[in-house]
Amino acid sequence: MKDRETKYHDITPFFGDEFEAAFKRFIDQSDKIASFANSFVPEGEDGKQILLSYIDSVKDKVHSYTDFQKVLTMGIFAPAVLRNTTDGFTTSGTENLESDKAYLYVSTHRDIVLDCILSFYALFLNNKPMGQLAFGDNLIANPFVGDLLRLNGGIIVKRDLPMREKYLETIRLSEYFVDTIIEDNYSIWVAQKSGRSKDGIDDTHPAIIKMLYLSKKSDGISFRDLINKVRIVPTCISYQYNPNDINMSREEVRTIREGQYNKRKYEDTISMMKGIREYKGRVHVAFGTPVVGDYERPEDVAREIDRQIHLNYKLWDTNYFAYDLLEGGNRFESEYKDMDKDRFLSRFSHLHEDVRNFVLNSYANPVREALKEKES
């Protein structure tokens, strides 16, 4: 493992002495910790001071990213976010997972940070090992955030590279994934495609699967054997209300209309904070069964991931109501009979028609995907 730590040093979580140094930098920046705390502790200085006092009281227990996750991320951050911004958190499918095995969790992607954190919180609550988390480098707004991500088991995904360099970096990243899972027996969480699913259609990009194989093809391993060794687990997290539904829809509508959308500086950071701070209703994380078998093509693996995600995705009243509204029927009326429909729609009343329709479709599409799977 030491050799790999050196080979992938610039993208891996912190280990050993480097972890200790980064953690010291982190706890010495109480002003930045207090500022970050605004996203998940109650208003006022008391909440911030309680957090700082808590970190001071547990700092001697933190010597690895696994410690950091258990003591801080799952010990205080995830519970605080769920307590302050949701009406409940549920999980399913952890019985499909063996505690002594590592997995590649290929997940839906709605929220920049919470998708991976809450997926691992679901594992934590069910006494399953967590692992490492793949983050895009667009999230690293400053050195403090970079340290925080890697202290938390973050793997840095470099995105803004020339085409040739990006291909080589993707191969290197994929090789790290495979080595970490097979050789080190540590799990990894990765989104099913680059960027969030703004339209609510959760489709896995086959290139993710292809790159896993290409990174190890020269070793003589077959595609089938590689897939069986990395043990992909389709993972989906569903939010009753998506705090970023409107701004994601505006971004996508503009992209469709103008051919591109150029993000403003810190736009991802703003979305990240919005996702953490604002109301999400109920939240559910579902784990599928490991994808193993006689798979011969990346497309076939991606299709199986999608099948499980579309069937396991927890559909809320907001999803069923949006579907019936757009389809002009009442097929699922019983699923939203107690819902405050006017309040839900009022969130979008000020929007231009095309943006409003896009938002509503983002809620309806998971229902459509589930129906397609059940009817196929």
Residue ranges of domains in the chain: 2-313, 315-376
> What pLDDT is stored for residue 3 in this prediction?
59
CA–CA gap between residue 124 and residue 118 (Å, rounded): 9
CA–CA gap between residue 285 and residue 275 (Å, rounded): 16
CA–CA gap between residue 261 and residue 221 (Å, rounded): 40
Q: Which residues pair with 136 in a beta bridge?
A: 157
Please check the confidence at residue 47 and state whether its pLDDT lies above 70: no
CB-side neighbour CA atoms (13 Å) of 17 = 1
CA–CA gap between residue 135 and residue 155 (Å, rounded): 6
Average pLDDT over residues 180-202: 93
> What pLDDT is stored for residue 194 in this prediction?
80
> What pLDDT is stored for residue 255 in this prediction?
86
Of 195, 269, 265, 263, the C-alpha closest to 38 is: 269
Please check the confidence at residue 4 and state whether its pLDDT lies above 60: no
> What pLDDT is stored for residue 262 in this prediction?
73
> What pLDDT is stored for residue 335 in this prediction?
98
Average pLDDT over residues 194-217: 92
Give the architecture (CATH level 2) of 2-313: 3-Layer(aba) Sandwich (3.40)
Of the pLDDT bands very low, low, confident and very high (cuts 50, 70, 90), residue 5 is low
Q: What is the pLDDT of residues 25-39, one digit of tens each?
A: 999 998 888 888 777
Number of neighbours of residue 154 by Cβ within 10 angstroms: 24
Kindly list the distances between the CA atom of residue 116 and the CA atoms of 8, 133, 235, 237, 357, in Å, as whole numbers in the listed order.
21, 7, 10, 9, 28
Q: What percent of the chain has pLDDT over 90?
A: 79
* Contact between residue 195 and residue 109 where contact means Cβ atoms under 8 Å apart: yes
